Copies of this chain bind each other. A is one copy, B any other.
């Protein structure tokens, strides 16, 4: 049965089952890439019709938590960091080939959230956040300066870990260390003129135009997880988006 499993009993059955399975997937009850029980099995253990199980799993699939293959089974999706969330702005070499930038964490501080961060992350006033300053490098040249804000409470595992061990990509880190999966994001682009400090960091002349990309990243439950601002020389920028 589904009662007394911590799910909201007022929800439709298939959503209760979805929540239950999602929790177990997050808790790593089944390893990424491994199959979850079959429809028939789940239908048995939870005493619901197969159709209801299907609907729950279809929801999970739409959310990107599982993958199904006809005849094989339903599998916990491995984190795929080659997907759209990781190629917003590409760095291109002169001949147009994509480059993968290296990351350097310049600083990590625990601070009271600035007003914009509380708004973006939907935090209470004066909540604590982890503030990261990061530089992204291509061929040892800095190309992007980033300010990243994370709710201190949810990301407390990152407050202790050494920033040298963060690696080049943050989202896999969030998933590994904090169990938080970035499922979607909203980005806003504007063009500004560099401040003196940014110019120095990025090795740019004064008054060079820079693109500022502001991003709010959301978890699979729609809660905002991360707010970041990234700035880089406008002349090197290329940004692609699909609209539906």
Chain B positions within 8 Å of A234 at CB level: 191, 209, 234
Near B by CB (< 8 A), chain A positions 219-244 give 234-235, 237-244
Instruction: Report the stretch among A18-26, A34-42, A181-189 that lies at the interface.
Output: A181-189
For residue A4, CB closer than 8 A to chain B, the reply is no
For residue A85, CB closer than 8 A to chain B, the reply is yes
Main secondary structure of the interface of A (DSSP, over half): strand
For residue A84, CB closer than 8 A to chain B, the reply is yes
For residue A211, CB closer than 8 A to chain B, the reply is yes
A238 and B189 contact, CB distance less than 8 A = yes
A79 to chain B, nearest CB (A): 15
A189 and B243 contact, CB distance less than 8 A = no
Task: Determine which of B88, B191, B211 lies in contact with A243 in the assembled complex, contact meaning CB atoms within 8 Å.
Answer: B88
Q: Which B-chain residue is minimally distant from A85 (CB atoms)?
A: B243
For residue A190, CB closer than 8 A to chain B, the reply is yes
A50 to chain B, nearest CB (A): 13
- Chain A: residues with Cβ within 8 Å of the partner, total of 24
A57 to chain B, nearest CB (A): 15
A241 and B186 contact, CB distance less than 8 A = yes
Chain B positions within 8 Å of A238 at CB level: 188-190
A241 and B184 contact, CB distance less than 8 A = no
A36 to chain B, nearest CB (A): 23
Chain B positions within 8 Å of A240 at CB level: 186-189
Task: Determine which of B184, B189, B211, B237 lies in contact with A242 in the assembled complex, contact meaning CB atoms within 8 Å.
Answer: B184
A175 to chain B, nearest CB (A): 17
Task: Determine which of B84, B188, B209, B242 lies in contact with A239 in the assembled complex, contact meaning CB atoms within 8 Å.
Answer: B188
Chain A residues near B (Cβ < 8 Å): 84-85, 88, 183-191, 209, 211, 234-235, 237-244
Known: A186-B242, A188-B241, A189-B240. 12 other contacts (CB 8 A): A85-B243, A88-B241, A183-B244, A188-B239, A189-B189, A189-B237, A189-B239, A191-B191, A191-B234, A191-B235, A209-B209, A234-B234
Q: Jot down 11 A-B pairs with beta carbons below 8 A, ordered by A.
A: A88-B241, A184-B244, A186-B243, A187-B243, A188-B238, A188-B239, A188-B240, A189-B189, A191-B211, A209-B209, A241-B243
